[in-house]
Structure 1
Amino acid sequence: MTSGGIRHHGIRLAAMALATGGLALFGGAVRANPVPWQMDMTKGVTTYSRVPYDLNMISLLVCTVIGILVFGAMFIAMFRFRKSRGAVAEKWSHNTVVEVVWTTIPVLILMTLAWLATDGMRKFYDTTGSQMTIKVTGYQWKWRYDYVDYLGKPIEKVGFMSKLDDLSNETRQLHSGLDPYAVKTDGQNTYLLNVDKPLVVPVDTKIRFVITADDVIHSWFVPAFGWKMDAIPGVVNAAWTDIKTPGVYRGQCAELCGQDHGFMPIVVKALSKEDFARWLAAQQQAATPAPAAAPAPQTAQAAAPAQGGRQG
């Protein structure tokens, strides 16, 4: 193959790699958190979400700098000091100073990244001081949410199943003839991203999630929260979040769990504390059965014939 052929082939391979990587990043972002032209992690809306975002950006910066230095040196050596220009290879076998430098610097970089990652995990698993607890259970192919406690008070009989909304479910059926782009909520396309009953939570509250599954392994993932957690049968995992901005945040099951894995979205609706208190009170009232009506007392006139009958 000629040098020109090699160059053109390399350019094609690089373009394919960039396109594939870009589509993978773009597709992953769109599936769970639709933002036009998003090709990177979202900064999120929680206290913790900045931690993985910053770590991702630091790692990307480190890899970019290393790539520029390594490939820059390689291309300079290839084009400036090539044999056709009369360059002659050196005869030395090693350089102690260079070897110490290119060993020490990577070790320091890896130690720094490891420290940042470990500190991030420590913060993620620290659920102490939680003001609210919600149990999340994965099923094929829906989620169940049970409210356990809030502000130190237990919550009873507030829980529900959350599944794919009826319009998306009807649209996805084979030969339905319905347009997926017509499935919208508040002007945004929410095909396969909406549910019949969202999880409602308050903002500015440290919420502890206890996550498990009833059948197979699932994974509860909302990109705006900055984390995901496996839901495993027989195992209870814990995570926490503290949402700072009211709004609706969407996610999906992130673990292949069966034929309808792609049809079990997650929707979290974050309300102000006042609005959440009203919502919770309404849910508790609806879950409380109405007291049975007391039997009407009999009047003396109505009781008289009954007494006369007994005497006869």
Structure 2
Amino acid sequence: MSLALALALCSGLAQANPEPGQLNLTRGVTTWSEVPYFLNNVVLGVCVVIGILVFGAMFIAMFRFRKSRGAVPEKWSHNTMVEVIWTTIPVLILVALAWLATGGLVSFADTTGSQMTIKVTGYQWKWRYDYVDYLGKPISKVGYMSKLDALSDKTRQLHSGLDPYAVTTDGYNTYLINVDKPLVLPIHTKIRFVITSDDVIHSWWVPQFGWKMDAIPGIVNTAWTNINETGTYRGQCAELCGQDHGFMPIVVKAVSQEDFAKWLADQQQASAPAPAAASSAAAPASAQTAAAPAKAGNG
């Protein structure tokens, strides 16, 4: 009981994946993540039932009807009814699974009604995030690179002498799964992702979102998410992309819509150009110019 409680507390701190002792697919924290979780459980259940039936029949045949017990094999070559049954049932199972999977893919591909757009670009070996629009308004000059945090990068170096278990965030070990600048997103917002790459094929994957999408040079792939809970969610590149493939994690910080609006305003203000100093300098200069003829007339 205490172990389960400790694992639950740790998962709430950083929401990293996988968790110790995890056996099933990640349930997820987004609107759509329930779809692959449900499909996974359905397929797992079908496979378990088929496995029990097939291996059960095999072991019964091996031990109950073995030659040492005097069993004599039947002489018939086939049974039409049995063949129809064991052909029809698998076909029906496959059709049902295909129908469920197709419905899930169709819903995942539907990015209509998105309230926000994020452009994700993969590089060797980091990610770039550009905020395109939010609630129908375009966003300009809000974007940044996100790469492995400095402490993890320093610790991973050969002969660094640093302890990977000492790399923590709020008491949670974040060695190689933390970044310098996380992707900040609002909850309860349908967010469209446009994903591409600037060099080789990468794959953007956050398990708690329920999907991953390849980042391919020259191609723009789309995906969407709607996060239901605030928190920090971690992922990584899921496509072998070079020698530092294992060192380009993904961190998403999901915040309330109010907090996101404040964060976005701060980012836009920071990226806005500074007011020109020329206007303030022009006023004294013009005053001095106007005063010069007056002095000349008094002389």
Does the pair score TM above 0.5?
A: yes
Q: What residue in structure 2 maps to residue 53 of structure 1?
A: 37
Q: What residue in structure 1 maps to residue 185 of structure 2?
A: 201
Aligned mate of 1:283, from 264, 267, 283: 267
Aligned mate of 2:225, from 211, 232, 241: 241
* Partner Cα distance (1:87, 1:230) in 2: 56
Q: What residue in structure 1 maps to residue 128 of structure 2?
A: 144
Q: What residue in structure 2 maps to residue 180 of structure 1?
A: 164
Give how far 1:297 is off: 1.9
Give how far 1:308 is off: 6.8
Give how far 1:35 is off: 1.4
- TM-score, reference length from structure 2: 0.90
Q: What residue in structure 2 maps to residue 215 of structure 1?
A: 199
- The 3 A distance-change label for structure 1 pair 34 and 72 is closer
For residues 217-270 of structure 1, give each alpha carbon's deviation from its aligned partner in whole angstroms, at most 9, with x where no partner exists: 000000000000000000000000000000000000000000000000000000
Asked if 1:297 corresponds to 2:280, the answer is no
Asked if 1:64 corresponds to 2:29, the answer is no
Matched position secondary structure for 1:161: strand
For residues 49-80 of structure 1, give each alpha carbon's deviation from its aligned partner in whole angstroms, at most 9, with x where no partner exists: 01111111110100000000000000001001
For residues 169-203 of structure 1, give each alpha carbon's deviation from its aligned partner in whole angstroms, at most 9, with x where no partner exists: 00000000001111111111111000000000000
* Partner Cα distance (1:68, 1:231) in 2: 40
Asked if 1:165 corresponds to 2:149, the answer is yes
* Partner Cα distance (1:209, 1:300) in 2: 55
Matched position secondary structure for 2:227: coil
- TM-score, reference length from structure 1: 0.86
Q: What residue in structure 1 maps to residue 175 of structure 2?
A: 191
- The 3 A distance-change label for structure 1 pair 306 and 177 is farther
Matched position secondary structure for 2:145: strand
Asked if 1:274 corresponds to 2:258, the answer is yes
Aligned mate of 1:100, from 77, 81, 84: 84
- The 3 A distance-change label for structure 1 pair 307 and 211 is same
Aligned mate of 2:103, from 92, 95, 119: 119
Q: What residue in structure 1 maps to residue 5 of structure 2?
A: none
Structure 1 segment 2-21 matched on structure 2, within 5 A:
none
Give how far 1:284 is off: 0.4
Give how far 1:34 is off: 3.7
Matched position secondary structure for 1:297: helix
Aligned mate of 2:238, from 230, 242, 254: 254
**Amino acid corresponding to residue 152 of structure 1 in structure 2:** G
* Partner Cα distance (2:156, 2:293) in 1: 67
* Partner Cα distance (2:119, 2:148) in 1: 19
**Amino acid corresponding to residue 85 of structure 2 in structure 1:** V
Q: What residue in structure 2 maps to residue 14 of structure 1?
A: none
Identify the range of structure 1 (32-41 vs 149-158) with the bigger mean alpha-carbon deviation.
Answer: 32-41
Identify the range of structure 1 (121-130 vs 284-293) with the bigger mean alpha-carbon deviation.
Answer: 284-293
Q: What residue in structure 1 maps to residue 72 of structure 2?
A: 88
Q: What residue in structure 2 maps to residue 228 of structure 1?
A: 212
**Amino acid corresponding to residue 214 of structure 1 in structure 2:** D
**Amino acid corresponding to residue 226 of structure 1 in structure 2:** G
> How many equivalent pairs are there?
281
* Partner Cα distance (2:43, 2:295) in 1: 95
Matched position secondary structure for 1:70: helix
* Partner Cα distance (2:178, 2:217) in 1: 25
Give how far 1:290 is off: 2.0
Give how far 1:302 is off: 9.0
- Structure 2 unaligned spans of 5+: 1-15
Give how far 1:303 is off: 6.8
The runs of at least 4 aligned residues of structure 1 exceeding 3 Å deviation read 298-309
Give how far 1:40 is off: 2.0
